[in-house]
Amino acid sequence: MIAVGVAAIIALTSLADGVFMDVKSAVAQVQGVIVFQKNPYGPLFSQIDESYIQKIERIAGVKKVHPAIIKPAREIDGKPFAYNAKSIVRLIGSKFENSQDKITVIRAEIIEGRGLKASDKGKVVIGTEVKDQYNKFVGNKIKINGKAFEIVGVYRSGSKYLNRGILLQLDDMRELINFPKNKVAQLNVELENPDEANKIAKLIQFKLGDKFKVINSTQFAKSLANILSDLRLFVLAVASLAAIVAAIGILNTMLMSVMERYREIGTLKATGWTNANIMQMILYESTFIGIIGGILGILFGTAISKLVSLQIGMPTFVSAELLSESFLFALVIGVCAGLYPAWKASRFDPVEALRAE
């Protein structure tokens, strides 16, 4: 029972932690400032004129502006996606200008082949997750939304989410998803000094006016982290509920055991065991149940967590902290659930207990 509770805590929390870590690293990839068009439908429908690139690049402290259109792919190699997050592939259209190893827009590195050149048309660089899922190599063709592209390279970033992406030139991207010419969805502003993000974000907002939404990615990451830690707390609360049920289970088991051993406890008292000795014995037993439950729970929970990670593709993260906390939790539950039965057993009248059938 307690094992189930601890397993639930570990499985759920590791999932929340995994998502947290991954989203955090995904956000960390996109440092600096991002500019969207303010519109009633949200950033997904943002359209910005390319002419703003120069305007922003003229602002002091701005190193370079990377225009981008990021949209989920509708289908890859003829296989459409169901609308769930686990397998979706993001198409990242940007102005890739040379075939260098670093890709600034998502801070990724080319690990096979080359990056995209300005002259590339009909060519893409795929993320490691896409390469693994579709079993592709440099030189292969990949069909995106029904159109074939040649793979010239493979990239890897620090985030599993971002690795599930395909890089292509802006013009190809516009053609593919029917995006208006000379427009982009967002502007990723690379800064001379990343520490000035807040200041420059305000400056850009001031220059561009109300029509645009300027996001400082560090701040964005912070608020995202808050939401996610709330999520972790929620998950922990749900899992703790399971553990409380487990505690009631131990309490019940111990009470039953104590009642069944009524006569035995009477005998122990007759042979000179004090009330405190009896209490200690029952507490040891319930603590032992807690420890065994904790160990089993850690094993099951870690296994479930890995299984979830493998089967659904959701990232999970089992931290040493989570393991030690869960174990401590099981231990405390064991002790607490034993307190009442131990007290009850210690109060047994030896004469009554010895008379019991």
Partner 1 sequence: MPKQSIIELKDVVKEYRLGKTIVRALRGVSLEIKRGDFAIVVGPSGSGKSTLLHMMGALDRPTSGKVFIAGKDIGLLDDWSLAMLRRKTIGFVFQTFNLVPTLNTLENVMLPLEPTGIDEIEKIKRAKELLKLVGLEHRMLHKPMELSGGERQRVAIARALINNPEIVLADEPTGNLDTKTGLQIIEAMRKLNVEEKKTFVIVTHDLSLLKYGNRHIYIRDGLIEKIR
Residues that bind partner 1 (CB under 8 A): 263-264, 266-277, 280, 350-351, 354-355
Residue 236: CB minimum distance to partner 1, A: 38
Closer to partner 1 by CB, 226 or 274: give it: 274
Residue 357: CB minimum distance to partner 1, A: 9
d(CA 290, CA 282): 12
Structure tokens at 109: 């590195």
Closer to partner 1 by CB, 132 or 260: give it: 260
d(CA 183, CA 36): 12
Judged on CB neighbours under 10 Å (0-12, 13-18, 19+), 235 is buried
Question: What are the DSSP calls for 135-180, one per residue?
Answer: T--TT-EEEETTEEEEEEEEEE-S-HHHHSEEEEEHHHHHHHHTPP
Closer to partner 1 by CB, 131 or 269: give it: 269
Residue 280: CB minimum distance to partner 1, A: 8
Residue 263: CB minimum distance to partner 1, A: 6
Specify the amino acid at residue 97. Answer: E
Judged on CB neighbours under 10 Å (0-12, 13-18, 19+), 339 is middle
Closer to partner 1 by CB, 252 or 274: give it: 274
Closer to partner 1 by CB, 59 or 354: give it: 354
d(CA 62, CA 116): 23
Residue 261: CB minimum distance to partner 1, A: 8
